[in-house]
């Protein structure tokens, strides 16, 4: 997203960038990690806490994850330094804010240090059901409209990364959080090899290879971001002009895993548009796709994770405009 503010002010980047070394010398380093349930916020914070502890820092970590796997807000405070008294980061005191979801990132911005705070955010949108209250399929969502460029103006150093897409291209969407760890690793002084060691300890064994690839992708992405103020970004490189997520027209796609559906009927009864039904084999199906708003209630309520709702961005905004005026 942006070049480091230090460059803009003519001061060497290293003078402003928070670092493990700096934390050792003075105040605790405050890292706030936020997202929604199921994105792997806690794994990011555990890997960081483990790494900091292995380097001899005192570490305090606190988290709230009551709605994990159900789309609720999840956040974790990680503080490390020579001595740490409180486990929570006061407002305006976070050195680094890592957000796994765009709107969650914006919501927590007041916690970032205004002059030196670093904002690292996935542009991934996870739209909550109340964003679809207009009940018009394809209508623009009630979702944050700030563009990365606007956010950049409010932070000392900021990066908006399409980490989820990068992880998908690696073959594992769930590695998006590790792409962000790669980005985070560039603003702390721990050696890359130690990060990789920490990751290998915290991800499932069979996914170590893809997660290490994701980690390196995140690191390289930041390097490219710092170089591309004058150079056109390559594929996967940072885009300075990512559109405001809410302004992107979308189409809804339901992914149903029939073998996981236990015919409980919950989604059928609670879909606000009544567009689901159980078929002859008592497996859920989308009976009236034209009525589906993509509100995601079915996905959030299904106890067996049998439904996933995809909001696919479409190239032409005419669909959104039509939805808005229908
Ligand atoms: S099918 Fe799911 S996403 Fe579509 S309107 Fe119903 S509850 Fe919402
Ligand atoms: S809530 Fe889940 S398990 Fe129940 S009918 Fe719907 S898809 Fe099947």
DSSP sequence for 221-253:
HHHHHHHTTSS---TTS--TTPPPGGGS-EEEE
Q: Name residues contacting ligand 2 (CB within 6 A).
A: 261-267, 284, 302, 304, 306-307
The single-letter DSSP state of residue 296 is -
**In the 8-state DSSP scheme, what is residue 128?**
-
> Which residues have CB under 8 Å from 125's CB, separation 6+?
101, 102, 103, 143, 245, 311
For the chain, the average pLDDT equals 79
β-bridge mates for residue 61, sequence order = 78
Express each pLDDT in 285-300 by its tens digit: 999 998 898 888 898 8
Residues with Cβ within 8 Å of residue 35, at least 6 apart in sequence: 41, 74, 75, 99, 100, 101, 104, 122, 177
pLDDT band at 190 (very low <50, low <70, confident <90, very high): very high
HSE-CB of 275 using CA atoms within 13 angstroms: 19
- In sequence order, the β-bridge partners of residue 257 are none
Residue 194 has what pLDDT? 95
Which range (22-36, 148-162, 243-257) has the least confidence?
A: 243-257
Distance CA 86, CA 1 (A): 32
| pLDDT number for residue 125 | 77
Alpha carbon nearest to ligand 1 atom 1, residue: 292
Spatial contact of 32 and 75, defined as CB atoms under 8 Å apart? yes
Say yes or no: domain 3-241 is CATH 3.40.920.10: yes
DSSP 285: E
Q: Rounded to an integer, what distance in angstroms lies between the CA atom of residue 189 and that of residue 273?
A: 51
294 lines ligand 1 (CB under 6 A): yes
Instruction: State the pLDDT confidence band at 201, using cuts at 50, 70 and 90.
Output: very high
Instruction: State how far the Cα of 106 lies from the Cα of 160, in Å rounded to an integer.
Output: 11
Residue 257 has pLDDT above 70, yes or no: yes
Q: Grade residue 107 by pLDDT with cuts at 50, 70 and 90.
A: confident
Cβ(30) to ligand 1 under 6 A? no
* pLDDT tens sequence across 47-66: 999 999 999 999 998 877 65
- Domain definitions of the chain by residue range: 3-241, 250-325
Angle at 43 between CA 298 and CA 125, to 5 degrees: 40
| pTM of the complete model beyond 0.75 | no
**CATH assignment of 250-325, among 3.30.70.20, 2.40.30.110, 3.30.1360.20, 3.30.420.40:** 3.30.70.20
* pLDDT average, residue stretch 218-241: 61
- Return the ligand number nearest the Cα of 283: 2
């Amino acid at each position: 997203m942006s070049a480091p503010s230090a460059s803009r002010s003519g001061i060497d980047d290293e003078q402003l960038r928070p670092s493990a070394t700096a934390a050792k010398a003075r105040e605790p380093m405050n890292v706030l990690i936020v997202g929604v349930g199921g994105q792997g916020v806690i794994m990011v914070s555990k890997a960081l806490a483990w790494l900091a502890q292995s380097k001899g820092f005192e570490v305090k970590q606190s988290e709230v994850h009551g709605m994990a796997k159900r789309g609720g807000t999840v956040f974790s405070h990680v503080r490390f330094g020579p001595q740490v008294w409180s486990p929570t980061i006061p407002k305006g005191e976070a050195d680094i804010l890592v957000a796994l979801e765009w709107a969650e990132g914006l919501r927590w911005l007041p916690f970032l240090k205004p002059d030196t705070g670093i904002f690292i955010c996935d542009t991934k949108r996870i739209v909550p059901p109340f964003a679809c209250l207009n009940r018009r399929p394809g209508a623009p969502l009630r979702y944050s409209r700030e563009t990365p460029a606007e956010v950049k103006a409010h932070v000392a150093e900021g990066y908006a990364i399409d980490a989820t897409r990068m992880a998908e291209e690696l073959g594992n969407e769930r590695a998006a959080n590790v792409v962000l760890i790669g980005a985070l690793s560039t603003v702390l002084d721990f050696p890359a090899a130690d990060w990789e060691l920490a990751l290998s300890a915290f991800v499932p064994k069979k996914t170590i290879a893809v997660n290490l690839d994701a980690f390196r992708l995140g690191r390289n992405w930041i390097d490219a971001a710092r170089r591309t103020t004058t150079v056109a970004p390559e594929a996967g490189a940072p885009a300075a002009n990512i559109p405001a997520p809410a302004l992107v027209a979308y189409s809804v796609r339901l992914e149903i895993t029939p073998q996981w559906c236990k015919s409980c009927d919950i989604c059928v009864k609670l879909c606000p548009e009544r567009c689901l039904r159980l078929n002859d084999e008592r497996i859920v199906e989308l009976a009236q796709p034209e009525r589906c708003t993509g509100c995601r209630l079915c996905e959030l309520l299904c106890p067996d994770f049998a439904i996933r709702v995809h909001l696919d961005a479409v190239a032409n905004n005419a669909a959104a405009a039509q939805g808005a005026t229908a």
